[in-house]
Amino acid sequence: MKAGYVSIVGKPNVGKSTLLNRLLRENLSIVSKKPQTTRHRILGIWTEDDNQIVFVDTPGFFNPKNDLDRAMQIQIKRSSEDADLTLILISPEHPEVPSEIFSYFKTPIFLLINKIDIIELDELQEIKASIEESSFAEVLLISALSGENVEKLIPLIIGYLPREHPFYPPDYLSDRPERFFIAEIMREKILDEYKQEIPYSTTVQVVDMKDGKIDINIYVEKESQKGIIIGKGGEKLKKVATSARKDIENLLGKHVYISTWVKVRKNWRKNKNDLKRFGYYE
């Protein structure tokens, strides 16, 4: 019987959330081609044969520009506090190992070279040549998207975990409530639909859930952004809400009715009180 916390870390867009979803065989973390998609520390719980791995998906390492960015970087540090093992992902776009990794995490570290399905052989050899492999407990070549070599991770991880009773019941997939995942689904659709600064200026809050009805507020920083989110005749917002509703119904296993409102919260990313209200500071 083994159990432990495993942090998944790396720069933005290296495939951390895709890897978590692949390991859990569930779409737990939202995924987007845009960087800085993950804003929260998200637990994904894998349980089998009395063994339990609590994966911790984290925001990417980047230089913070505002209080929201700083809150995201704090989430990475927090994930190091309970970690028994760390998975650091690199990719062709971001082949460098963040220097902070060795100061933040005092655990064994697996280096995962991701996206091998799109790496040319000579590029892969260059990446491997630049790595000091002795710094890592294990070095693996994987594709989180296709699943190549991902199945090798679970037994390797278990081998490094302490003997411990499970922390969560066997049917738990995460410690987050339904409201959190509903808001994340809506935010994922916003990331997919809108360009430039709009997705980064937006946050989502579920304000009420009752009898199959869900009220959702979408917050932006400027009045002009509100108009862009809504679109001409409300068409943009309707498209996003319709797409989100389908995924929310899959999550909840029932039909739901969604009401959405777009509200302006000026400079919320720079306001710590707003960030606490929206759940970015725990």
List, for residues 170-200, the tens digit of each pLDDT value. Answer: 999 999 999 999 999 999 999 999 988 888 9
Q: What is the pLDDT of residues 147-168, one digit of tens each?
A: 999 999 999 999 999 999 999 9
Domains in the chain, CATH or no CATH each? 3-160 (3.40.50.300), 178-277 (3.30.300.20)
Element (DSSP H or E) covering residue 232: none
Q: How is residue 132 annotated by DSSP?
A: -
Residue with tokens 């594709």: 143
Phi (first) and psi of residue 280, to 5 degrees: -85, -25
The 257-264 sheet, strands edge to edge: 203-210, 213-220, 257-264
Quickly state the pLDDT bin for 125 (edges 50, 70, 90): confident
**Global confidence as pTM:** 0.90
Give me the residue label for tokens 């639909």: 193
